[in-house]
């Protein structure tokens, strides 16, 4: 039995491993790293823009399932396969969050699941 409540969006793909897409502690929400897996299970990697679009759709689905929005996000961690993509990703990130400016870390990693170019995880507060 969970001490906290798992967050599982109605229209999302199954996680790639033994974890929940998100956990709700009552005060804080922790969203697992999101890559570009579509609700049908396909991996949307036609372009970096396609990956980011799917990731942000996945995040919106987590927001909806949690009954929160971008204003609740306090911390974002971005994992990039190539830091040369930072400028492009940063622009799309700014478009997505708009006026909201949560704390953020960006880390270059050697490899991500399914060879994704980017993964984004979020911590939010109710």
Looking at residue 119, its pLDDT comes to 98
Looking at residue 89, its pLDDT comes to 98
Lookup: tokens for 121 = 């995880």
- pLDDT band at residue 76 using 50, 70 and 90 as cut-offs: very high
Mean pLDDT of 52-79: 97
Considering only residues 6 and 96, tell me which one the structure prediction assigns the higher pLDDT: 96
Note down the domain range covering 16.
Answer: 5-125
- pLDDT band at residue 9 using 50, 70 and 90 as cut-offs: confident
**CA distance readout (Å), 52 to 6, 27, 84, 88, 116:** 24, 28, 15, 10, 10
Mean pLDDT of 5-14: 81
Looking at residue 1, its pLDDT comes to 61
Question: Which CATH number does the domain housing residue 88 bear?
Answer: 3.30.1330.40
How many structural domains comprise the chain? 1
Instruction: Report the alpha-carbon distance of residue 8 to residue 52 in Å, rounded.
Output: 20
Instruction: Report the alpha-carbon distance of residue 71 to residue 63 in Å, rounded.
Output: 10
- pLDDT band at residue 79 using 50, 70 and 90 as cut-offs: very high
Torsional sign, CA 107, 108, 113, 114: positive
Kindly tell me if the per-residue pLDDT of 56 is higher than 90.
yes
Looking at residue 44, its pLDDT comes to 96
Mean pLDDT of 18-22: 85
């Amino acid at each position: 039995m969970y001490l906290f409540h798992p967050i599982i969006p109605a229209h999302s793909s199954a996680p790639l491993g033994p974890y929940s897409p998100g956990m709700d502690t009552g005060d804080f929400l922790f969203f697992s790293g999101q890559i570009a897996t579509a609700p049908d299970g396909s991996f949307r990697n036609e372009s970096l823009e396609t990956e980011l679009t799917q990731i942000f759709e996945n995040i919106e689905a987590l927001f909806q399932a949690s009954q929160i929005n971008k204003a609740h996000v306090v911390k974002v961690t971005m994992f990039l396969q190539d830091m040369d993509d930072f400028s492009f990703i940063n622009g799309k990130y700014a478009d997505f969050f708009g006026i909201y400016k949560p704390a953020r870390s960006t880390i270059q990693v050697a490899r991500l699941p399914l060879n994704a170019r980017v993964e984004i995880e979020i911590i939010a507060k109710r």
